[in-house]
Amino acid sequence: MGSSIVKEGFERAGHRSLLYATGQVKCPADFKKPFIGICNSFVEIIPGHVHLAELGRVAKAAIEEAGGIAFEFNTIGICDGVAMGHTGMKYSLPSRELIADCVESMIRAHQFDAVLCIPNCDKITPGMLMGVMRCNIPTVFVSGGPMRAGKLDNGNAADLITVFEGVGKHTRGQMSDAELEELERKACPGCGSCSGMFTANSMNCLCEALGIALPGNGTLLADSAERRDLVRTAAKQVLRVLEAGLCPRDIVTPESIDNAFALDMAMGGSTNTVLHTLAIANEAGVSYPLERLNEVSARVPNICKVSPSYKWHIEDVGRAGGIMAILGELMRRPGIVHPGCKTVTLKSIAENVGDARSSDLDVIKTVDAPYSPTGGLAVLFGNLAPEGAVVKEAGVDPAILKHTGPAVIYESEEDAMRAVLEGEVKAGDVIVIRYEGPQGGPGMREMLAPTSAVMGAGLGTSVSLITDGRFSGGTRGACIGHVSPEAAAGGPIGLLKNGDTIEIDIPKRTLNVKLSDDALAARAKDRPAPPDRHLTGWLKRYQRLVTSANTGAVLK
């Protein structure tokens, strides 16, 4: 039915009058054309989004050239980097739900025939994906593209994580004021999503493997002519996808989610992709148990390492052949990628890949000579995480893949950050940050600051960190997040005491505290109440409705 419901028949004269008033519809013949929504996330506080107004204009012109009528609307967006390390980060994950609700509201209220989504960073891409899964109208995604890596005077590449880790070094007297100032001025040189394999770029790359975006979506640079060409192509492709009647729920299946996670494992993407992809699957009506991730990981070699796990950046991945090259390398080994999955190119994922292979084996390795034989992400289970916890295995130094140590417990990110900077945390410790989950935080703040401080303090190979909260895509080290159930929901992490022995075995996928079931049950009888966050407004509603990370932190 689509837009015909708002523009056809004598009883819709008032609707047509209002549409004439917008200036987008200029004559009666325009009502015969498909109405295409452009869901843009242009905001001026996020470097990944400052150029999206221009990309929206490019898309609008291309849609109209292809025979559609384009109506642009915007969503909110939060910059996780700017929101990091203070109460603003409590709003980051909740913003995903607001974006999904807004996308659903705009599409349902105005009855677009199809939609082009232009996201770029953090929660915006998954929020838009969740919204379009609910509405299930023909959709194409095209991101704003990644930022170039910064260049320092000594020729070294730098990015946002270099700056955050520089703060830790500066605190320890290992970096001068002048060196830190150079980092902050040069690490982020212009528009685009931050230049490493952080959450934004991970999600935009996964959109290619999922099939909802065109090849190049994840790696073509934000400030390049190629990015603008991709936007034009994607905008015109919306009309073809509409004609074919291909909808998001035709594309997002258990098999295409396997493909997305296979890419994530192969390139060591952000742990946040797990949270978001589970939420997207939920909106698409797809059952995808957390345990399935370890099955994917077991068959996927880690063939690409990008900052923060290694020196390469997204621009290097693009230069080496991009996401299709990574998938092409994986397809050399049968059984890793489901080749027949549908995509918005109206071809299968295998047809999109074709004969693409790595053109730089230093950046994208082969399946026969990988960094490691299994994937970059792992899900751990045990008496501390009965419903799972997630770690970016590709970013963990081999020296600490197995770690047994005493718990040092903090009830908030701020307390843990202070402890690291003041030298309270010692080599061998296991930092526990709890009541930072979706409900307990609330909002499951991304905790890049304490993890970067651990690395900057030289403790990356001797200290682990576990939390019911989550980490930035820029996090590296033995940082285990998404512990479920979270402390605020009655999870065992809320029963820990300082000095308890934590046993972490990432290769065996286990996370335990050295306590018997009876001992944990005895502690549960005297469980302390969660901290009162003194909430008002949206966060108070969110806390009442949100579920733990193993569900994707979706609302009840």
Q: Token pair for residue 55?
A: 């990309």
534 class by beta-carbon count within 10 Å (0-12 exposed, 13-18 middle, 19+ buried): exposed
Q: Using an 8 Å Cβ cutoff, are 322 and 266 in contact? A: no
DSSP string for residues in 143-155: ---BPPPEE-TTS
CB-side neighbour CA atoms (13 Å) of 380: 32
| Catalytic-residue membership of 105 | no
Residue 397, Cβ neighbours under 10 Å: how many? 12
Q: Which of 342, 346, 19 is nearest to 211 (CA)?
A: 342
Q: Say if strands 402-410 and 430-433 run parallel, antiparallel, or are unpaired.
A: parallel
Q: Using an 8 Å Cβ cutoff, are 454 and 425 in contact? A: yes
> How many Å apart are CA 434 and CA 413, to the nearest integer?
8
- DSSP class of residue 548 equals -
Q: Token pair for residue 503?
A: 């046993």
3-state secondary structure of 362: coil
CB-side neighbour CA atoms (13 Å) of 177: 0
Catalytic residue among 3, 193, 358, 472: 472
Strand partners, 481: 390
CB-side neighbour CA atoms (13 Å) of 285: 9
Catalytic residue numbers? 472
